[in-house]
Structures are given as structure tokens and as C-alpha cells.
Amino acid sequence: MTLEQDRGDGPAPIIVTALFGAADTAFFDDLRVRHFPPERNQLKAHLTMFHHLAPSLERELKQRLVAETKGVAAPTARIAGLMSLGRGVAFRIQSSALEDIRDRLADAFAPLLTPQDRAGWRPHVTVQNKVEPAVAKALQADLDREFRPRDVRIAGLATYWYRGGPWEALSRHMFAQDRG
């Protein structure tokens, strides 16, 4: 990391996420507060679409995200189930429209994607991580007993600089009905 990145005012890898509506964000955040180790819970609930895009893509990425969201109805999405992370638990999210957006972005940036971002996308929201496997397994069993698939609202897409700690907001791109 350069001194410029360390100070927080220069280029850094870019993370892209889908933003949930307020009620769904509150639902996921409540679970994170209750089940994430407090010292590791530095972020709001999020649905990561890309983990590490090159900082040089900032301008083109913003243009593409504007094109994907401006005047466009929000994609439908659904909590489809639970998934084990081994040392954590996540909710699996299904959204063919969101997958289409990610595919278009991945195609546009294909030569510059990291191996993690080239690999198949498994959309999910982590509500617990970095715990002992038995603790994660117990939470998954508890959540599974009450689980019912349900729709979630995707409000927009966002980008963040990643500088090794909490993410720094870069841009937000809201879908048509969520501009307010």
C-alpha cells in the first residue's frame, strides 16, 4: 500500500455491491449485530458483486452503473435459503436480473478481473463469520427452523474504496423508484 492509499485519499481497489431497501437492510443488520463477532462487524449488511476492481476502472465503472440503474426499475430479488460458510452463515440471494447486471459488468472488465471475481458468483448476505464451526452450524440450524423464502428490495448499486479497513463510499446508483 502506498502512503497515498494509507492516508485514504488515493486510488485503492473498488468493491461493488447491491444495496437493499431500508427494511431489508435493517433485517440483515439486526442479525449481524446479534451473531457477528463485534470486533469484526465493521460493515452494514451488503451483497458483494465484485470484491476487487482496479482503481483505474473508476470512471468507466461509474458510467456503466449509471447506465444499469438510471430510469431502470429495481431488479426483483429473493432470499432463497441459507448457506454455510464453514465458520459463518449467510442468506442466499436469487435475482436473475441482478445476475444479468453482474454478467454485463464482468464481460466488460473480464481481462482485469481478479480470480475471485472471475469465479462463479454466489450472491449472499453474510450474517455471521469468523466463528467456530460448531457455533455457525448451530446458528444455521436455528435460522433454518424459522426460514421462509421471501422477496427483498434491491434499491441500487454502490461502489467503495477498499483500504484494508471499513470501506470508504465512492458512489451510489439508485434504481428508478428508489431515488428519494
Report pLDDT digits (tens) over 123-144. 999 999 999 999 999 999 999 9
Query: Residue 33 has what DSSP assignment?
Result: H
* Residues 81, 122: Cα–Cα separation, whole Å: 12
- What percentage of residues in the chain have a pLDDT greater than 70? 93
Query: How high is the pLDDT of residue 158?
Result: 97
Query: How high is the pLDDT of residue 107?
Result: 97
Query: How high is the pLDDT of residue 9?
Result: 62
User: Can you list the alpha helix ranges (DSSP code H) found in 13-168?
Assistant: 22-35, 58-69, 96-109, 115-118, 133-146
Neighbours of 98 (CB within 10 A): 22
* Residues 126, 136: Cα–Cα separation, whole Å: 11
- Structure-derived torsion over alpha carbons of residues 126, 132, 138, 144, reported in degrees to the nearest 10: 20
68-126 tens-digit pLDDT: 999 999 999 999 999 999 999 999 999 999 999 999 999 999 999 999 999 989 999 99
- What domains can you pick out in the chain, each with its CATH number? 13-178 (3.90.1140.10)
Query: How high is the pLDDT of residue 5?
Result: 37
Q: Please state, rounded to an integer, the average pLDDT across all residues of the chain.
A: 91
Query: How high is the pLDDT of residue 10?
Result: 67
Q: How confident is the model at residue 165 (pLDDT cuts 50, 70, 90)?
A: confident
Contacts of residue 155, defined as CB under 8 A and 6 or more positions apart, other chains included, come to 19, 20, 21, 22, 74, 174, 175, 178
Residues paired with residue 16 on neighbouring β-strands, in sequence order: 50, 159
Q: How confident is the model at residue 175 (pLDDT cuts 50, 70, 90)?
A: very high
Q: How confident is the model at residue 8 (pLDDT cuts 50, 70, 90)?
A: low
Residue with more model confidence, 6 or 132: 132
